[in-house]
Amino acid sequence: MSLADQARGDLKLTGLHKRYPNGFVAVESLDLVIPQGSFFALLGPSGCGKTTTLRMVAGLEEATKGTIHIGDQDITDAKPYKRPVNTVFQNYALFPHLTIAENVAFGPKRRGAKDPAQEVKEILALTELTEQANKKPTQLSGGQQQRVALARAIINRPDVLLLDEPLGALDLKLRRAMQIELKRIQEEVGLTFVHVTHDQEEAMTMADTVAVMNKGRIEQMGAPYDLYTNPQTTFVANFLGRSNLIKGTVVGREGSGADAVVKVDMHGTIATIKASKVHTDSDHGWVGIRPEKVLIQPEGQAIDAPGAALSGAVVVDASYIGVSTDYTLRMPWGQEITCFEQNTGRRGGLIPVGTKVDVSWRPEFAFLLDSAQDAEAGLEED
Amino acid sequence: MITRVGNWIGKHLMLTLGILVLLYMYIPNFIVALMSFNDSSESRNLYQFQSFTWDNWLNPCAPQGMCESLRVSISIGLLATLVATIIGTLAAFALVRHRFEGRSTMNLVLFLPMATPEIVMGSSLLALFVAAGFGGQLGFWTVLIAHIMFCISFVVVTVRSRLAGLDSNLEKAASDLYANEWQTFWRITFPLVFPGILSAALLAFSLSFDDFIITNLNSGTTVTFPMFVWGAAQRGVPMQVNVIGTLMFLLALGIVIGGEVLSRRRAKGKAVTL
Residue ranges of domains in chain B, CATH in brackets: 2-56 (no CATH), 67-238 (1.10.3720.10)
| In a shared domain, residues A27 and A54 | yes
Burial of A16 (0-12, 13-18, 19+ CB in 10 A): buried
- Does the pLDDT value for residue A37 go beyond 60? yes
- Judged by CB atoms closer than 8 Å, whether chains meet at B177 and A97 is answered as no
- Judged by CB atoms closer than 8 Å, whether chains meet at A95 and B173 is answered as yes
Identify the sign of the CA torsion B56, B60, B65, B66: positive
Identify all chain A residues contacting B173, using CB atoms and an 8 Å cutoff: 87, 89, 93-95
CATH number for position A130: 3.40.50.300
Residue B271 C-alpha, separation from nearest chain A C-alpha, in angstroms: 6
| In a shared domain, residues A25 and A161 | yes
State the average pLDDT for chain A.
Answer: 90
| In a shared domain, residues A132 and A253 | no
| In a shared domain, residues A111 and A221 | yes
| B230 Cβ contact partners less than 8 Å away, ≥ 6 residues apart | B212, B216
Whether A216 is covered by a domain: the verdict is: yes
Give me the percent of chain B exceeding a pLDDT of 90. 46
Residue A54 C-alpha, separation from nearest chain B C-alpha, in angstroms: 12
Out of A96, A99, A110, whose CB is closest to B177? A110
Q: Among the three residues A188, A207, A229, which one is the final residue of a domain in this structure?
A: A229
Residues A329 and A335: their CA atoms lie apart, in Å, by: 8
Whether A378 is covered by a domain: the verdict is: no
Bridge partners of residue A295, in order along the sequence: A360
| A62/B contact by beta carbon, under 8 A | no
Residue-wise pLDDT for A146-161, tens only, equals 999 999 999 998 999 9
| A318 Cβ contact partners less than 8 Å away, ≥ 6 residues apart | A325, A326, A327, A328, A350, A351, A352, A353
Out of A80, A94, A152, whose CB is closest to B175? A80
Closest Cα in chain A to B181: A81
Whether A203 is covered by a domain: the verdict is: yes
| A293 Cβ contact partners less than 8 Å away, ≥ 6 residues apart | A361, A362, A365, A366
Confidence of residue B46 (pLDDT cuts 50, 70, 90): low
Closest Cα in chain A to B169: A93
| A189/B contact by beta carbon, under 8 A | no
Q: Phi then psi for A103, rounded to 5 degrees?
A: -60, -50
- Give the angle B175-B179-B180 at the CA atoms, nearest 5°: 90
| In a shared domain, residues A73 and A184 | yes
Give me the percent of chain B exceeding a pLDDT of 70. 94
Domain membership of residue A76 as a residue range: 11-229
Whether A1 is covered by a domain: the verdict is: no
Whether A86 is covered by a domain: the verdict is: yes
Identify all chain A residues contacting B195, using CB atoms and an 8 Å cutoff: none
Q: Among the three residues A185, A208, A229, which one is the final residue of a domain in this structure?
A: A229
CATH number for position A269: 2.40.50.140
Identify all chain B residues contacting A156, using CB atoms and an 8 Å cutoff: 177-178
- Judged by CB atoms closer than 8 Å, whether chains meet at A97 and B191 is answered as yes
Out of B170, B183, B272, whose CB is closest to A95? B170
Indicate the DSSP class of residue A290: -
Identify all chain B residues contacting A152, using CB atoms and an 8 Å cutoff: 177
- Does the pLDDT value for residue B2 go beyond 90? no
Q: For chain B, where are the alpha helices, taking DSSP H only?
A: 2-11, 13-35, 55-58, 66-97, 103-115, 118-131, 140-164, 168-176, 181-184, 190-210, 213-218, 225-233, 240-268
Give me the percent of chain A exceeding a pLDDT of 70. 97
pLDDT at position A2 is 36
| B166/A contact by beta carbon, under 8 A | no
Residues A313 and A331: their CA atoms lie apart, in Å, by: 4
| In a shared domain, residues A130 and A203 | yes
Q: Among the three residues A229, A264, A288, which one is the final residue of a domain in this structure?
A: A229
pLDDT at position A170 is 81
Residue-wise pLDDT for B168-215, tens only, equals 899 999 999 999 999 999 999 999 999 899 999 999 999 999 999 999
Whether A269 is covered by a domain: the verdict is: yes
Out of B167, B180, B269, whose CB is closest to A134? B269
Can you tell me the mean pLDDT for B86-102? 90
**A and B: number of Cβ contacts within 8 A:** 75
How many domains does chain A contain in total? 2
Whether A381 is covered by a domain: the verdict is: no
State the average pLDDT for chain B.
Answer: 87
Out of B177, B188, B269, whose CB is closest to A86? B177
Residue-wise pLDDT for A197-244, tens only, equals 999 989 998 999 999 999 999 999 999 999 999 999 999 999 998 999
| In a shared domain, residues A276 and A329 | yes
Can you tell me the mean pLDDT for B122-135? 90
| In a shared domain, residues A249 and A148 | no
Identify the sign of the CA torsion A170, A173, A178, A180: positive
- Does the pLDDT value for residue B271 go beyond 50? no
